[in-house]
Chains A and B, each alone.
Chain A
Amino acid sequence: AQSVTQLDSQVPVFEEAPVELRCNYSSSVSVYLFWYVQYPNQGLQLLLKYLSGSTLVKGINGFEAEFNKSQTSFHLRKPSVHISDTAEYFCAVSFGDDKIIFGKGTRLHILP
């Protein structure tokens, strides 16, 4: 079955520390991968996406993610977080059609 999993529902991180938010997917076909950020009571903003080419994708706000086909992962990283990064982060997958399936989300808590 095709699915996307975010194992961590919450991740607390001290300000200026690095962070990794994990995302794994299950699919028998090629996938397209996305990371979105959602601030409270707002819609989703695209951080980055992997469609093809280089497996290391750089996005906005200093985030990057690496597509690992053998591990079926697309983890999101940032070397130094800021208090403004506090938000909900969603990994999403498209399995070749127009639909995008979202993971359950990871809430990033930045600790002062």
Chain B
Amino acid sequence: GAVVSQHPSWVICKSGTSVKIECRSLDFQATTMFWYRQFPKQSLMLMATSNEGSKATYEQGVEKDKFLINHASLTLSTLTVTSAHPEDSSFYICSAGQTLSYTFGSGTRLTVV
């Protein structure tokens, strides 16, 4: 079946630095990938839709300059959290696939200290 790999699985960074999270579709091509954010014991919040070869579409309230998304190939999308602050600490999850048949990555736990 479709496999989505997310890396790293966890990362700790200092406040003010930037962190890049990768999402790869291992055995299929994904023209669209989605990035979610999940706070502890809460649901997933869609942050943005990553489109291969074009700009990402951000949900209302998500700062596009802070959460940079790049989808340069059909198998890779990256989320860069710029100038990270402790409030950016969260669990970030990507998903990819065909319409109505999405596979989720295993998530990245980001802790900003």
Contacts and interface: CB of A to CB of B under 8 A. Distances in A.
Contacts of A57: none
A63 interface: no
Contacts, number: 47
A45 B104 contact: yes
A94 B102 CA distance: 11
A53 interface: no
A88 to B, nearest CB: 8
Given A44-B93, A104-B42, A105-B43, A94 B109 contact: no
Interface of A: 32, 36, 41-46, 49, 51, 90, 94, 98-105, 107
Given A43-B104, A99-B49, A100-B95, 8 more contacts: A36-B104, A43-B107, A44-B44, A49-B100, A98-B32, A99-B34, A104-B42, A104-B43
* Top-9 shortest CB links A-B: A43-B104, A44-B104, A43-B106, A104-B43, A102-B44, A102-B43, A43-B107, A43-B105, A105-B43
8 contacts: A94-B100, A98-B32, A98-B49, A99-B34, A101-B46, A104-B42, A104-B43, A107-B41
Interface of B: 4, 6, 32, 34, 41-44, 46, 49, 91, 93, 95, 99-100, 102-107, 109
